[in-house]
Homo-oligomer: A and B are copies of this chain.
Amino acid sequence: MTLDEAWRILQEKQFKRTKNRDTILQFFSENDRYLTALEVKNFMEEDNPGISFDTIYRNLSTFSDLGILEETDLNGDRHFRMQCDPGVHHHHFICTACGKTRSISHCPMEMITVNLPDYEVEGHKFEIYGKCPLCVAK
C-alpha cells in the first residue's frame, strides 16, 4: 500500500493528519517487513525524542484496524508491516534472520473447511518461517 492510499483511508474515516502518523507510515513504507513497536520508536526518536509508547501503540492499532497495516504475533510480540496487497487474501513466508517477507498466494482453507461441517470458522493463521535466499547465501 502507498502512503497516499493510507492517507486516503485515514481522512475518509476523519482521522487527523499528524506528524507522528506521517513518520510511522513513512517508516513502514520504507521497510518491507514485520516491525515491532520498539523499532518504530527507535526510528521516531530521531526527530521526536519524547515520543511515547502510548502514541506508537495507539496508532499501530488504528492502522491495523483500518487495514493499513497487517499484524501478527511472533514469539509473543506484536509485529506490524505495511499491508502489501489490500483486499487480496494472502499469507507470508517470514525470514527469521532479516525479517523480510514474501507473499504466499495459496490458501489452504477451501480444501479444509469442507471437512469441518457444523464448525463455525472465524479465521486462520498460516505462516512459513525460514531463511530467505539472501540470508541463506550468508
- Listed in ascending order, the chain A residues whose CB lies under 8 Å from chain B are 73, 75-78, 93, 96, 102, 104, 106, 108-109, 111-112, 115-116, 118-133, 136
Give the interface SS of chain A, mostly helix, strand, loop or mixed: strand
Residues of chain B within 8 A (CB-CB) of A130 are 119-123
Q: How far is the CA of A124 from the CA of B106 in the complex (A)?
A: 14
Q: Which among B111, B121, B128 is the interface contact of A112 at CB below 8 angstroms?
A: B128
Q: How far is the CB of A57 from chain B (nearest CB, A)?
A: 13
| Other-chain contact of A128, B73, B124, B128, B133 (Cβ < 8 Å) | B124
Q: Kindly identify which residue among B75, B119, B127 contacts A93, using a CB–CB cutoff of 8 Å.
A: B119
CB distance from A130 to the nearest CB of B (A): 4
Say which residue of B73, B115, B126, B136 sits within 8 Å of A124 (CB atoms).
Answer: B126
